């Protein structure tokens, strides 16, 4: 490379100096020039999971609507979705949260991962801000729902915006044709399997039952399938009294045995569909509305797909579908079981505009805006004032989905849970693909012991 002459060097130095000074002045302003046309607005990025719906997605539409009405016109709200399967989303978010260069200003956190992200130092505690927010302190939020956003250190790391329950969605028209009751309330697992057998015999073109069973569907496999079954046996993942993970039990074998029976008797869809990251969407957006699926073990939110603004509009859903509670394994007390979860808006520790992000969270999760989101998504509200609103209570299935929360269980609020959950997904998929429950459970015990340590596991 040829060397510059002295005059050229001086000119270049002056230009660099001016540019550097300008950059320093801009950096000290606290404002971002990311707004359209370099307007000098502060841009608040909101990261969430895009399940493939893109701009038709409920969360995207809600963010755009809320942003349009946001009174601070010096702030621009920019959706920054991550298109990924449920399992991949958490890994990609964790990677983004590590750096100031990639961390968004607001991130949607599944409450099961929140404690882990908080323990890793990725999230900003919100306690001081929440004390000054009247909505948080005056009873507008359901008190029990605050537990889901409280980490093991006792601090709050997010504002919840929905919760959910799980059960057995079923097609009443298919049930009627098969001679099954339209007001179906199975008393135990055998009655669920008997219904699947009847449908297979009398409606051969219909998939009898669909459950998430793959690693690609991530937490949906852990929570909606395995934990719904395990907790239905009366056993749990974690022994709170002893502070240990349960890695060997009859309940584990029974839960895996149910999964094995469904697959051996071929009551589910092809494995190519089940083990796909879009399995949940395929079941709820295609197979159920098209009358190709009789029973789906899934969450209360799926009806959000069927609204006029949803990903798969289906006006008849409220008349065609039923939502039965998942029974305990043998009908033992309390008779039914559901797992409850939910999502929250959190501020990353590496966010660039924390104050502006907090102001937007308060606006976005006000009564009016929270109600818009849960009514368009099919989720259950976390706000007591929304729960009493006539517009909310008249939505199909809201009342029954909320009723199921009476027997709700929650995932362990333990830092290691996400890692254990990954092993659950591996165990369930291995049974779905032919491994015996005993062998799959043995491998699970070994893997969880390796993760949490021998002093933190037990058998029943």
* pLDDT tens digits, one per residue of 167-226: 999 999 999 999 999 999 999 999 999 999 999 999 999 999 999 999 999 999 999 999
The average pLDDT across 108-132 equals 95
Q: Is the pLDDT of residue 353 over 70?
A: yes
CATH topology match: 42-163+340-409 vs 165-338+412-459: yes
d(CA 419, CA 350): 24
Query: What is the per-residue pLDDT for 38?
Result: 55
> Is it the case that residue 16 has pLDDT exceeding 90?
no
Q: Token pair of 223, please?
A: 């929570």
Does residue 374 carry a pLDDT above 60? yes
11 has pLDDT over 80: no
Q: Can you tell me the distance from the alpha carbon of 117 to that of 109, in angstroms, rounded to the nearest whole number?
A: 9
Cα separation, 162 vs 359, whole angstroms: 19
What is the structure's pLDDT at 40? 83
pLDDT for the residue numbered 403? 87
Q: How far apart are CA 351 and CA 122, in angstroms?
A: 10
In this predicted model, what pLDDT tens digit does every residue of 140-153 receive, in sequence order? Answer: 999 888 988 999 89
Q: What is the pTM of this model?
A: 0.79
Which residues lie below 8 Å from residue 405, measured CB to CB, with a gap of 6+?
163, 165, 338, 340, 380
Class of the CATH-defined domain 42-163+340-409: alpha beta
Convert 440-456 to b/e letters by CB count within 10 Å (16 or more is b).
Answer: bbeebbebbeeebeeeb
What is the rounded average pLDDT of the residues 4-14?
39
CA distance 114 to 344: 9
Q: What is the pLDDT of residue 266?
A: 97
CATH 3.40.50.1240 fits 165-338+412-459, yes or no: no
User: Any idea where the domains of the chain sit in the sequence?
Assistant: 42-163+340-409, 165-338+412-459
Burial class of 183 by CB neighbour count within 10 A (0 to 12, 13 to 18, 19+): exposed
Average pLDDT over residues 104-124: 95
Question: How far is it, in rounded angstroms, from Cα 149 to Cα 143?
Answer: 11
What is the per-residue pLDDT across 19-58, written as a single tens digit (0 to 9) for each? 433 333 333 333 444 444 456 899 999 999 998 889 989 9
Cα separation, 88 vs 248, whole angstroms: 28
Q: Which pLDDT value is given to residue 46?
A: 98
CA distance 210 to 445: 26
Q: What is the pLDDT of residues 281-306, one digit of tens each?
A: 999 999 999 999 999 999 999 999 99
* φ, ψ dihedrals at 144, nearest 5°: -60, -30
């Amino acid at each position: 490379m040829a060397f510059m002459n002295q005059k050229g060097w001086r000119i270049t130095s002056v230009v660099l100096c001016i540019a550097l000074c300008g950059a320093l002045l801009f950096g000290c302003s606290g404002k971002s020039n990311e707004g359209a046309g370099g307007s000098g607005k502060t841009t608040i990025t909101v990261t969430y999971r895009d399940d493939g719906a893109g701009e038709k997605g409920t969360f995207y539409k809600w963010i755009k609507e809320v942003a349009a009405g946001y009174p601070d016109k010096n702030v621009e709200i920019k959706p920054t979705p991550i298109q990924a399967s449920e399992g991949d989303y958490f890994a990609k978010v964790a990677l983004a949260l590590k750096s100031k260069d990639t961390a968004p200003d607001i991130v949607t956190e599944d409450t099961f991962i929140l404690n882990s992200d908080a323990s890793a130092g990725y999230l900003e505690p919100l306690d001081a801000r929440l004390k000054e927010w009247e909505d948080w302190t005056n009873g507008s939020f359901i008190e029990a729902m605050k537990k889901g956003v409280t980490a093991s250190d006792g601090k709050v790391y997010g504002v919840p915006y929905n919760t959910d329950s799980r059960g057995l969605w079923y097609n009443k028209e298919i049930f009627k044709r098969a001679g099954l009751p339209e007001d179906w309330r199975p008393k135990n697992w055998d009655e669920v399997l008997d219904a699947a057998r009847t449908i297979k015999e009398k409606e051969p073109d219909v998939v009898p039952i669909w459950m998430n069973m793959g690693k690609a569907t991530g937490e949906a496999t852990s929570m909606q399938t395995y934990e719904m079954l395990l907790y239905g046996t009366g056993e749990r993942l974690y022994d709170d009294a002893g502070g240990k993970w349960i890695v060997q039990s009859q309940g584990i074998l029974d839960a895996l045995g149910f999964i094995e029976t469904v697959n051996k008797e071929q009551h589910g869809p092809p494995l190519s569909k089940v083990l796909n990251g879009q399995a949940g969407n395929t079941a709820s957006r295609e197979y159920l509305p098209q009358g190709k699926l009789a029973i789906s073990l899934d969450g209360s939110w799926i009806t959000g797909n069927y609204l006029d603004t949803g990903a798969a509009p289906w006006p008849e859903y409220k008349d065609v579908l039923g939502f039965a509670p998942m029974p305990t394994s043998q009908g033992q007390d309390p008779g039914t079981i559901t797992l409850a979860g939910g999502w929250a808006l959190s501020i990353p520790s590496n966010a660039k505009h924390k104050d502006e992000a907090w102001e937007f969270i308060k606006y976005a999760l006000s009564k009016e805006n929270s109600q818009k989101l849960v009514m368009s998504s099919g989720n259950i509200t976390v706000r007591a004032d929304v729960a009493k609103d006539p517009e909310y209570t008249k939505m199909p299935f809201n009342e029954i989905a909320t009723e199921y929360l009476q027997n709700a269980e929650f995932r362990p609020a333990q830092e290691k849970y996400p890692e254990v959950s990954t092993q659950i997904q591996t165990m369930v998929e291995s049974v779905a693909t032919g491994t015996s429950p005993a062998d799959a459970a043995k491998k699970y015990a070994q893997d969880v012991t390796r993760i949490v340590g021998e002093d933190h596991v037990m058998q029943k």
